Structure 1
C-alpha cells in the first residue's frame, strides 16, 4: 500500500509546494524575472557544487546537454550565473552563481520553508511527530532511488 500511494502523494505535495502555491504566494513578491523550475534547479545545483561543468550538470539534472547549455546562456544573460574557463581544460566551462542569484535562492528558500512551516503547525501533535519520524526513512528512500538512477 505504501509503495503504491507514496509516489503520487509526494508528487502532489511537490507540485503544490513548487508550482501552484509558489506561483500564488511566493513569486508575486520576488524581484526580477520569473524563473522556470529547471532554471531554479540548475542554480541550486551550481550553488551546491560551485565550478560544476555543463555536462556534469546535465547528468546530475537528468537533462540533455544542449538543454542545460540553453539554461546556462539564459541565466548568464540574466546575471544569475557566471561562466568561466576551466583551468584544467580550456575547452570546458565552470559554472558559478552570482551574488544576485545567491540572494535570490536564499530568499526563495526562506519563503518556501515558511509556507510549509505555516501548514505543518496547523497539524496536530501526532501528525507533526509522525512527519518528523518519517524524515530519516524518506531520506534513505531518496538516496536509494538516486543511487539506482545513477547506476543506469
Structure 2
C-alpha cells in the first residue's frame, strides 16, 4: 500500500511539474509553505517540531523561501527574538494554483475509473485518514522522546 501511495504522489508531482514556468520547489520547502498556509504566524521552533526537522534546517529553509519571495519573516511583538512566518501573496497564489491543478488532474483520472473502483476509493478514505493521524501521532511521540 505504501509503495502505491508513494508512486501515485510521485506521478502527480511529475505531471504537475510539466510546463511550470517558475523554478520548482523542493519537497521540504513545499511542506513548510503548506504548514505556514495552515498556521499563519507559526514560529520557526514550532514549524521544526511539526515537520520533525531540526530548527537550524527550518531556519535554512525559511531563509531560502524569504529570498525566493515565498515567505515573510515578521518579528514577534511578544518576543522580539522570535520570528513569525507568513506566506507572500505570490506563494498563496502558487499553492492555490498547485492545489487546483492537482484536484483537476486526480479528478480527471478518478472519473475514468469504474464505479466500483471509485466506490472502493471513497470507502478507503476514512481508514487512510486514520492511518495518517496514527502516523502523525507516532511521529509526535518520537519527536518528544
1:21 maps to what in 2? Answer: 15
TM-score (norm 1): 0.87
Q: CA deviation at 1:21?
A: 2.3
Q: TM-score, normalised by structure 2?
A: 0.91
Shift of 1:133: 1.0
Alpha-carbon distance between aligned partners in 1 of 2:54 and 2:64, rounded to the nearest angstrom: 16
RCO (CA 8 Å, sep 6+): is it higher in 1 or 2?
2
Cα distance between partner residues in 2 of 1:119 and 1:82: 36
- 1:43-58 to 2 correspondence within 5 Å? 43-58=33-48
Question: Which residues of 2 match residues 99-138 of structure 1 at below 5 A?
Answer: 99-138=89-128
| Residue 61 of structure 1: how far off its partner (Å) | 1.3
Q: Which runs of 5+ in 1 are unaligned?
A: 1-5
Q: How many residues align?
A: 142
8 Å contact 2:76–2:83 — kept in the other structure?
yes
Q: Distance in 2 between matches of 1:73 and 1:149?
A: 26
| Structure 2: distance between partners of 1:137 and 1:95 | 33
